Amino acid sequence: MANTRLTRAALVSAVLGAAAMASAQAGEMPASNVKGPKEKCYGVSKPGENDCAKTGAHGCATLGKIAFDGQEFQEVPKGSCEQMNGSLKPFDGVNPKIKG
């Protein structure tokens, strides 16, 4: 009985640890978890990962369908957008700086 509890606890810990590592390796941080000053970064979001769109083409968060669309933005820590090859201003088309 004690071994069963220990095995279950180890399994739960392993699964949670693997999920945390995968999230950290992806280097992605949802805008809701970004602390401090933020900026809108256009052309960096994958489909369904946008925070909103300049054009009003849809109801906003998570509804973007085109990868790295220059009209969609994500809120990122201030000063990090250009490091991500994004733009602080919306632009037409898909971000040519990101290979996706």
Condensed to tens digits (0 to 9), the pLDDT of residues 8-65 reads 544 444 444 444 444 333 444 445 565 799 999 999 998 888 887 766 665 676 677 8
3-class SS of residue 2: helix
pLDDT tens for 86-97 read 999 999 999 999
Q: Examine residue 65 and state whether it is found in any structural domain, yes or no.
A: yes
Q: Examine residue 76 and state whether it is found in any structural domain, yes or no.
A: yes
Q: Examine residue 3 and state whether it is found in any structural domain, yes or no.
A: no
2 pLDDT more than 70? no
DSSP 84: G
CA distances from residue 24 to 2, 12, 20, 27, 28 in whole angstroms, order as listed:
33, 18, 6, 5, 7
Judge contact between 91 and 44, C-beta under 8 A.
no
Mean pLDDT to the nearest integer, 73-80: 94
Q: Examine residue 49 and state whether it is found in any structural domain, yes or no.
A: yes
pTM: 0.60
Phi and psi angles of residue 99, each rounded to the nearest 5 degrees, phi first:
-90, 120
Q: Examine residue 64 and state whether it is found in any structural domain, yes or no.
A: yes
Q: Examine residue 14 and state whether it is found in any structural domain, yes or no.
A: no
- What is the count of structural domains for the chain? 1
